[in-house]
Structure 1
Amino acid sequence: MLGFDAGSVTTSLRRVVATAQNGLEVLRLGGLETDAVPSSFTVVARDPMYRLRRYFADENPSGPPVVLVPPMMMAADVYDVTRDQGGVGLLHAAGMDPWVVDFGSPATEEGGWNRTLTDHIVAISEIVDLVARETGRDVHLAGYSQGGMFCYQAAAYRSSRNIASIVTFGSPVDTLAALPLGIPAGVATRGAEFLAEHVFTRLAVTDWMARTGFQLLDPAKTVKSRIDFLLQLHDRDALLPRESQRRFLAMDGWVAWSGPAVAELLTQFVVHNRMMTGGFSIRGKVVSLTELTVPILAFVGEVDDIGQPLAVRGIRRAAPRAQVFEADLRAGHFGLVVGSTAATQTWPITSKWLDWREGNGPRPLEVRAMSYDDHPPSESGVSVSARLVHTAATIAEVGVGIGRGAVSAAAGAVRGSREISTEAVRTLPKLAKLGQLQPHSPVSMGRLLAEQNRRAPSAECFVFDDRVYSYAAVNERIDNVVRGLIAHGIRPAMHIGVLMETRPSALAAVAALSRIGAVAVLVQPSPDVGVALRLGRAEMVIVDPENLDSAVDLGFEVLVLGGGESRALSIPTSDTVVDLEQVDPSSIDLPGWYVPNPGRARELAFVLFSGSGDTLAAKYVTNYRWALSAFGTAGSAGLSRSDTVYCLAPLHHSAGLLVAVGGALAGGSRIALSRGLAPERFADEVQRYGVTVVSYTWAMMRDLLDHPDLPEPRLHPIRLFIGSGMPVNLWRRTVDRLAPARVLEFYASTEGDVVLANVAGVKIGSKGRPLPGSGRVALAAYDPVTARFVTDDHGFVRDCADDEPGVLLGRPGLDDVSGSYMRGVFEAGDVWTPTELMFRRDEGGDFWLLGNKRSVVLTAHGPVYPQPVVDAVSGLDQVDLAVTYGVGDPGEQWAVCAVTLRPGASLGARAVGEALAAVPAEQRPDLVHVVADIPVSAAFRPVDEALRAAGLPTPGPRAWYADGLGEYRRLTKAVAADRFSTSAGASSVGRSGS
């Protein structure tokens, strides 16, 4: 017979009663009464955005002030969950002066639901001023999670003024490097963009939504903590030490987010990831973390799946001018600031850091310099072992059999293929749009700006002089300029000159003419202004104040636009000089004929110019041709709203108007306008604006690469250079000096549909292949000696074989303004538009420029194509610039290659011969020489007119000639007199042993 254990029954009954009593208290009060007393504080400042608490103020603290910033969704009490283990109590005990920012809840503050992210950042900046004034000391700024992001952003906004150091706890910077739950970056950006534009403009995040979202990011731990609580509900003594922390996470610690603040957070720091790239906007001012110059300590949770280590360590790359340190803890996200790990490690390390920065102690042993290594997209920074141990332990305690680590690993395995498909999804629609255009399709620059404004009026259109302008503001400015232009007689199809520096008003003028349907004749400031305006059939001219003097005597009515609020015109207004800025747009009634953006694909949109002096020529660009470049650039460069495109080229150059501005508008990217090329400005603006794509022309990059302020490789946001004409050696230097950026080289005929792009960037120097969506391209056999196309037995032009020189032709498509057609070229009835350029096509289908038909040097040993010679010698590290030209009469010319050398470099005959060995023997130059300078045009294209006029090179140690045996030798006076004198004749230099 079994015995009856009365003691066991009594214990069980007591346990049941205790469980019931404690459970009833939890149901009635939300938790157990702990009798915990919060740390004492005084509210020293009140504002609609915040309450500023100073803890232990009655004790007259004299230690260094520490301002603690909570995340936007969490209560300020996160730093005082338990007095004996909370951040403020422990910092105070260590001799610090803790202050805490209390943003309150948008639900209870007046105007709270309209708060923006910018409001929070500006509030923190104001608090730094207040605390610095009150204490007379620089402030240590510290923040948890998003609060740390606020600290970085506010410090950058105020250029680190009055800030002694920054301390962050699990604060992500590279938000796309390691997302919670292994979410692919492409999915995150598209989802964040949708939420920002369509959800949070109408909806806020309530406190229960914030709490639930936080818990779902680590569901296993959430379930474990709840089961632990229920299993110990009978043991009040065991629960009380952690009850304040449990109640904070389960109920009390969460506050709502305003919709505008969440939308701004998603747009700037998820979609655009501008903590890393720079160029985020605070009240219209462009800000970058590169402006941080104070010491930074970032706490990294080794098993933090919210502020993952790689995302946190992004600060090292984003703030290259700051000393950045880290402290690694075996903790999750919340455990970094609350709980036993925080009490025994986080806050003591923080105190020792503050002492060190104040000169009162050594650097903490736990603090080390942070490094930032490149990583594959599948990594998060949470080590596999740490993740497995942490996850397995958590799961084992609650009996769950499936590890989330396996799910994360699976997500990482497919991430690469998802990113490839994301790129295709982003690119193909832009290229497909080209194929949908018909001659009567409505398309223009003005229309594209209006479409982007309708899609996202608050999105950023461009940045200039540290100010950001939204699409809404830009379109309003354009519409105002439209009214002023119409009031002064401008109508559709009129040709209007634009003589302006690169500035917002120039962009507004060109877009306004497009919106009217007029033709913008873009001319550069030069002695050829009058000739260019007449070639472009301009009827009046729009200028900025800087170019007013050069325009008034040209015989045109002059309209002055832009120049800033404090400008003063050098010439008073009159019947022929009108100040558009003095026109009140609201006083102008639009005429009945005005229809915004009437431009059709086949209609003329712009007139650009090439050459100078006697070679000045007008180039006619239709709306379709502009759209071809715009969407082609956006598609091949993968431009998106995450990009900021740096427009270095002036708007009157095709690289500025068609590639940089057009591509950015088509891709929805932000445009960064620059006042011109200057190495110090480039280095500064690239970092501050968060430039991801840089447009270039020809040798533009050569003066930039050696500048000491240029950012180090991998510590800059640039991913791509796009443009045309970059010399081979400059290409290599660019990708080496500014890794991991690459070069996307284009060739686009100003007229017609021919667009080539070297998208892969593997064959340096190649112009690439025809862009999908552009017109068909062909190479027609051409004899430069006779200046005629080579025909077959039936009289048709012969299509070039691989590596055979020929003239590039393109299908005319929708572009019908040039009129330079060829019919019956390869077959009866076909129609092609010829370019002036010769190319060869390699066996892989890539096109290589040989030079203009007129620039081919006609020697006694055959034609010498200038570009292959330039490419060959430009491959030498010693060479800076190179040009190839002819001296003498056609058919008896000498082919001469002139080079300049990089500082400190020297060049010899052997290096010249080795470099030119890649060129067929009969196409090598007769002479190579080093010159002091090769002039470049306004577009940075090397020009050879002065060198050609100077004649043959002077004999000496830096001039070499081809000896006819495949070698180059020093040019002496005797050899020059014997072989290269006028009387000797070109025929004396053959390739058969002469």
Structure 2
Amino acid sequence: MAGLPNVGGTIGRIVATAQNGLEVIRMGGFDTGTEPAPYRVVETEQMYRLRRYFPDDPGDGYSHVILIPPMMVSANVYDVTEENGAVSILHKQGIIPWVIDFGSPDHEEGGMERTLTDHVLAISRVVDLVRGVVGRDIHLGGYSQGGMFAYQAAAYRRSEGIASVVTYGSPVDVLAALPLGLPAALAVPGAEILADRVFHKLWIPSWLARTGFQLADPVKTARSRIDFLRKLHDRDALLPREDQRRFIEQEGWVAWSGPAVAELLRQFVSHNRMVSGGFVIDGDIVSLTEIRCPVLAFVGETDDIGQPLAVRGIVDASPDADVYEALVPAGHFGLVVGSTAGRLSWPTTAEWIRWHDGEGDEPAEIGPMDPDRKGRGSGISWSNRLTYGVGQVAGAGTALTKEIVEAVESVQRTSRAVAAESVRTVPRLFRLGQIQSSTRISLGKLMSENNRRTPDAELFLFEDRVLTHEQVNTRIDNVVAGLIECGVRPGEHLGVMMDPRPSALVAIAALSRLGAVAVLLSTADDLDEMLTIAQTRAIVTDPVHLEAAAAVSDRVLVLGGGDQRVIDRADGVEIVDMEQIDPDQVRIPAWYRPDPGHAGDLAFVLFTRVEGRLTRWSVTNHRFAMSAFGAAAAAGLSTYDTVYCLPPLHHASGLLTTLGATVAGRSRIALSNGVDPGRFGQEVRRYGVTVVSYTWTMLREVLHASDFDPAQLSSVRLFMGSGLPTGLWTEIDERLPRAKVLEFFATADGSAILSNIDGSKIGAMGRPLPETNDVAVAAYDTEHGQLEVDANTGFVRQTEPNEVGMLMSHAGQRFEVSGQVLRDVFRRQDRWEVSGLLFRRDYDGDLWYMGSAAASMRTADGVVYPEPIRQALSKVPSVDQVVVYSVGEPGAEVVVAAITLRDGVASTTPTLLRIALGEIAATQRPHLITVISDIPVSESYRPLVVDRSMPRPGSRIWFRDVDGRYRRYTRSAADTIDWSRPTPQPVSQRPSGDQSAAGPSAVAAPVVETTAVEPAAVGDRSAE
């Protein structure tokens, strides 16, 4: 009713207010007389009902769009008002709207068990259905979380059948700007707790969803209610917004299922995988990088929920899509409902659809989304929202000064970083420090603990497949049963020769769970020697390596059945197809105890080659734990990380600092079929990789590929591994500034584990990992191969800064010593293991590797160390690979540096090579530098010296003259040089005192070398 016209003034207002208020109380609102747009339900499934609006219009020649509501909002959100409703406006513009109605889960059969995956798969089925009906690609649109669904469905389908994606206030980079201005450091652990402990049991009713939406902007909610009450006497003034008010206040909300909320919090809040990639849909790995179709994202200038910075995350998450944006002066709800949406959002959507279907021009209201979003809005903080709201309500507001706000935010960021790092690392290091010889700890036990903690969390990602902790744990137990059936017992040594894939990791973990010893084998020519050294009688392998294993072992157990090679060869005795063993039929013996390994027990056997000699590396459970927990702490690994495992498992970087650290950090492991530059970037983006592990020159092919795109690695925060050449390290720093390098170094017996954690000194090995064995550098006489003793004390002397000496590791754990141990070394009753490796310690205490004692080269000028030469030459831009070796008898050895050039580089200059060696004293530089055509690499990508012969004179070989410069090595020069005589030094380079024990940096004179560069020689760089 409109009130009583003949009653004026205050009494009339009171009566009208009472009458209208009674109608609102009884009916929930005013009867506006509006009618919903006509539609017909054309498909019904347990997950949804599909509405086809304006069913009487055949839509000949029309475009088609599928609209997706958020989980907590009714599908009627696209038809709230008759004049400004989305479906009506789109239809008037020649577009047929289809709307997915998920219903209210609390009223649907099985609705409270729905997951996010169920929603995405339902949307994908709808796309197929509608596309089949209309015979053309369709457009996919979604509001808020419905837009997130649209992105996910488009990525899951690789954009097949989708003409474009249109979203309205849909966050992608969720952690960049959370609702209410919540800090990510607070929201992330909170989301994890809610997902794991609350929403797997509970659900969100519709009234709670409505309340949560209103609390997102309490000031605006309060203001709108006050306005409604103040105008309650004026029915005509309220009617235009009544449908919208009733939708927000009462009718527009539906329940959320607990599993769907938990998955939302875990994947897209806690892990932020809309940006990083690697989220899971129906067991498949999905990344928004798979979106190829055009994208239009509507951004609300005052949107508190889908904040601008979070919405604009789509431009980074989908680098292969053409991404546009439309900026709308509205909040979250105003993007799709109300006068602003009717004037801007939906007409612009219609123009966008017609443009991409070739039936119109590009909309004037849109523009390409700028990847550099600085200055374009960074989210609406709680303080800004509250200040703005109070100002609107009270007519006044006071803001803190910019300086105070920035100071407070800086303190908060620092505190959050310190707290987060402490939470991750302190428990690991504390546990590591408590390990004793009798402590039960092993790889199998760590994986059992992770399974008990988070059985449904993803563990292995491989070839777009996902395996959870529970699935992997079940597989491990099944393989253990198979090993028992094959007669394997605790303590037995079994070779493992497999490519990095889930079955290989399962085999290693199964041997650990059984208490057997995994002997990690390569496919090198010395397999026989490896088996003999490790006392191994049987090999576990995959079909790929069956022939190689059968050639050296009388008993081969094969994992990964179904391969014809296995079927043809398996006889059940010498070659056993373990996939044919039914674990349920295996009788488990009384002696079996899962994960029996103690810290002092031998767990793994690795192999390393020192100067051509194969050496066994015995790894106890304690040393495995030291490496695993220490590396996980140094890398800051957590459940938010996905580690991309490139190294082979028989290398320490593959077993210890990749598999071990990932398990200790409870991270996901992404596995690859070798290093392929084209596949590398795709898999990094698809899996959402945050950490890449490597060995030696493994990253060279990726970084040097002609089509390498650093943007493909935007999710990577860390590269970790060992053996990285300084040149590649420098390239990573320059080309991927957001990523860091964590370089590890372990002695051949694993007694010392070093890491360069901060990466500020490129090429340094850093310091010992926390809670691992302490190290010292002992003075060492390289000429005579013995430690130097202080004449006064009788103890071994520790080196001075930059003096080269022998690395020693403190032998604190008596139960696992495997190398040579000396007592009473630096003081009474101490115990130190001799590593056989030479290092120098700089003035800051960081360690630099010089090479092994056996690899030191004895020339007429003194001892030359190979590692500084390798690292220096690797920094030359034209140089690809470097190896260093010597020719001749000790005391007159000729040091040769062999290099290869990068693809497309025809030559290099001696000036460039000499400048690269400028920090090394002239007598410490190689006598000859030669360019060769190829340097082969091992399975772990370590450059190998194949030909140790004396290079012949030629146009691409240079010798070092008396001034340390390099000149063309001609036949006449070869005939006149006497390598057995010391090289005369220029006066400026002759040491003023006894510095024979000092390392290269101690005698290098970079200033002298720089001034010695001739202007003509510098000019030659451009000429060549």
| TM-score, structure 1 normalization | 0.95
- 1:48 is matched with which residue: 30, 40, 46? 46
The 8 Å contact of residues 785 and 863 in structure 1, kept in 2 or not, is answered as yes
Is residue 157–residue 282 contact of structure 1 (8 Å, CA) maintained in 2? yes
Give 1:744 deviation, angstroms: 0.9
1:656 counterpart residue number: 654
1:399 maps to 2:394: yes
Query: Per the alignment, in what secondary structure is the counterpart of residue 775 of structure 1?
Result: coil
- Counterpart of 1:920 in structure 2 is 921
Shift of 1:419: 3.2
Aligned to 2:980: 986
Aligned residue for 1:286? 285
Partner of residue 124, structure 2: 125
User: For residues 266-295 of structure 1, what are the alpha-carbon distances to aligned partners after superposition, in whole Å with 9 as ceiling and x for unaligned?
Assistant: 111111111111111111111111111000
C-alpha separation in 2, matches of 1:868 and 1:837? 14
- The one-letter code matched in structure 2 to 1:95 is G
Q: Secondary structure of 1:786's partner?
A: coil
Identity %: 51
Q: In 1, are the aligned partners of 2:570 and 2:577 still within 8 Å (CA)?
A: no
Deviation at 1:88, TM superposition (A): 0.6
User: Is the contact between residue 491 and residue 518 of structure 1 (CA under 8 Å) also seen in structure 2?
Assistant: yes
Aligned to 2:258: 259
Instruction: Give 1:474 deviation, angstroms.
Output: 0.2
Contact 1:655–1:695 (8 Å) recurs in 2: yes
Give CA-to-partner distance per residue, 1:214-269, whole Å, 9 cap, x none: 11111111111111111111111111111111111111111111011111111111
Change (3 A) 1:708 1:264: farther
Contact 1:713–1:740 under 8 Å retained in 2: no
- Measure how far apart 1:496 and its partner are: 1.1
Partner of 2:856: 856
Q: Is 1:322 matched with 2:316?
A: no
Distance 2:92 2:421 in 1: 54
Residues 924-943 of structure 1: matches in 2 within 5 Å? 924-943=925-944
Counterpart residue number, 1:3: none
SS in structure 2 of the partner of residue 122 of structure 1: helix
Alpha-carbon distance, 1:59 to partner = 1.6
Is the 1:548–1:571 contact (alpha carbons within 8 Å) kept by the matching residues of 2? Answer: no
Retained in 1: the 8 A contact 2:874–2:880?
yes
Q: Residue 26 of structure 2: SS of its match in structure 1?
A: helix
- Match of 1:885, SS state, is strand
Q: Aligned match of 2:518 in 499, 511, 520? A: 520
Is 2:112 aligned against 1:110?
A: no
Output the CA distance in 1 between the equivalents of 2:933 and 2:944. 14
Within 1, Cα distance between the matches of 2:473 and 2:794?
A: 54
Any conservation in 2 of the 1:430–1:635 contact (CA below 8 Å)?
yes
Q: CA deviation at 1:572?
A: 3.0
Shift of 1:432: 2.5
Secondary structure of the structure 2 residue equivalent to 1:664: helix
Aligned residue for 1:538, secondary structure, equals coil
Alpha-carbon deviations, 1:866-911, whole Å to 9, x = none?
A: 1111122222111111122211011110112121122233321222
* 1:836 shift after superposition: 2.3
Which amino acid is 1:253 matched to? G
Q: How does 1:190-339 map to 2 (within 5 A)?
A: 190-339=189-338
**Distance in 1 (alpha carbons) for counterparts of 2:964 and 2:180:** 64
Task: Deviation per CA, 1:491-524: give whole Å up to 9, x if none.
Answer: 1111111122222111111100100111001101
Matches within 5 A, 1:559-598: 559-563=557-561, 568-598=566-596
Partner AA of 1:30 in structure 2: G
| Residue 555 (structure 2) aligns with | 557
Tell me the alpha carbon deviations over residues 780-830 of structure 1, each in whole angstroms, 9 at most, x when there is no partner: 111221111111113321111110101111122336151421212111221
Letter in 1 for 2:416: E
Higher mean alpha-carbon deviation, 826-835 vs 409-418, is at 409-418
Cα separation, partners in 2 of 1:65 and 1:374, compared to 1, 3 Å: closer
Letter in 2 for 1:420: A
Q: Which is further off, 734-743 or 719-728?
A: 734-743
Q: Distance in 2 between matches of 1:115 and 1:763?
A: 51
Aligned residue number for residue 30 of structure 1: 28
Larger mean CA deviation between 510-519 and 707-716 belongs to 707-716
Matched residues in 1 for 2:959 and 2:465: separation?
A: 55
Aligned position for 2:459? 461
Amino acid at match of 1:525: T
Question: Which AA in structure 1 matches 2:726?
Answer: V
Using the TM superposition, give the Cα deviation of residue 920 of structure 1 relative to its aligned residue in structure 2, in angstroms.
Answer: 2.1
Decide whether aligned partners of structure 1 residues 750 and 219 sit closer, same or farther in structure 2, where only a CA change above 3 A counts. Answer: farther
Aligned to 2:640: 642
Distance 1:420 1:910 in 2: 46
Mapped contact 1:182–1:411 kept (Cα < 8 A):
no
| TM-superposed deviation, 1:316 | 0.7
Deviations 1:517-559 (A, max 9, x none): 1100110122222221121111322121222222234343221
Structure 2 contact 139–164 (Cα < 8 Å) conserved: yes
Give the Cα separation in 1 of the matches to 2:715 and 2:599. Answer: 35
Are the counterparts in 1 of residues 293 and 322 from structure 2 also a CA contact under 8 Å?
Answer: yes
- 1:568–1:190 distance in 2 versus 1, CA, 3 Å: same
In 2, the alpha carbon distance for the partners of 1:960 and 1:597 equals 58
1:824 is aligned with what amino acid?
D
Cα distance change, pair 54–7 in 1 and its aligned pair in 2 (3 A): closer
Q: For 1:714 and 1:331, locate their aligned partners in 2 and report how far apart those are by CA, in whole Å.
A: 34
Which residue of 2 is the match for residue 792 of structure 1?
A: 790
| Distance across 2 between alignment mates of 1:936 and 1:720 | 24
What amino acid is the match of 1:582? Q
Distance in 2 (alpha carbons) for counterparts of 1:764 and 1:617: 29
Shift of the alpha carbon at 1:404?
A: 9.1
1:284 partner amino acid: G
CA contact (8 A) 1:628 1:753 kept: no
Residues 354, 278 of structure 1: CA spacing in aligned structure 2 closer, same or farther, 3 A cutoff? same
Match of 2:601 among 596, 600, 603: 603
1:828 equivalent in structure 2: 828
**Counterpart code for 1:907:** T
Structure 1 residues 614 and 747: CA distance shift in structure 2, 3 A? closer
- The match for 2:1018 is none
* 1:589-641 deviation line (CA, Å, top 9, x unaligned): 21111111111111110001112996222111111111111111111111111
Q: Is contact 2:513-2:596 (8 Å) kept?
A: yes
Q: Deviations over 1:388-416 (max 9, x none)?
A: 6x766643443286679999978745441
1:374 shift after superposition: 7.0
Contact 1:784 1:853 in 2 (8 A): yes
Paired residues of 1:714 and 1:739 also in contact (CA < 8 A): no
Matches of 2:806 and 2:765, distance apart in 1: 14
Larger mean CA deviation between 262-271 and 26-35 belongs to: 26-35
Q: Kindly provide the CA deviation profile for residues 671-690 of structure 1, in whole angstroms up to 9, marking residues without a partner as x.
A: 01111112122122111111
SS in 1 for 2:430: helix
Aligned length: 978
Deviation at 1:315, TM superposition (A): 0.7
Give TM-score, length-normalised by structure 2. 0.92
What code does the residue aligned with 1:399 have?
A
Say whether the 8 Å CA contact 1:780–1:797 is kept in structure 2: yes
Deviation at 1:479, TM superposition (A): 0.4
- In the other structure, the counterpart of 2:777 is 779
Comparing 342-351 with 18-27, which one deviates more in the overlay? Answer: 18-27
Distance of 1:566 and 1:541 partners within structure 2:
19
Equivalence for 1:96: 95
Alignment of 1:504-515 (within 5 A): 504-515=502-513
1:392/1:608 CA distance change after superposition, 3 Å = closer
Contact 2:460–2:670 (Cα < 8 Å) also in 1: yes
Q: Is the 8 A contact 1:299 1:327 kept in 2?
A: yes
Give the Å deviation of 1:418: 3.3
The corresponding residue for 2:471 is 473
Distance in 2 (CA, whole Å) between partners of 1:404 and 1:232 is: 31
Q: Is the 8 A contact 2:387 2:397 kept in 1?
A: no
Measure, in 1, the Cα distance between the counterparts of 2:200 and 2:476.
26
Amino acid corresponding to residue 381 of structure 1 in structure 2: S
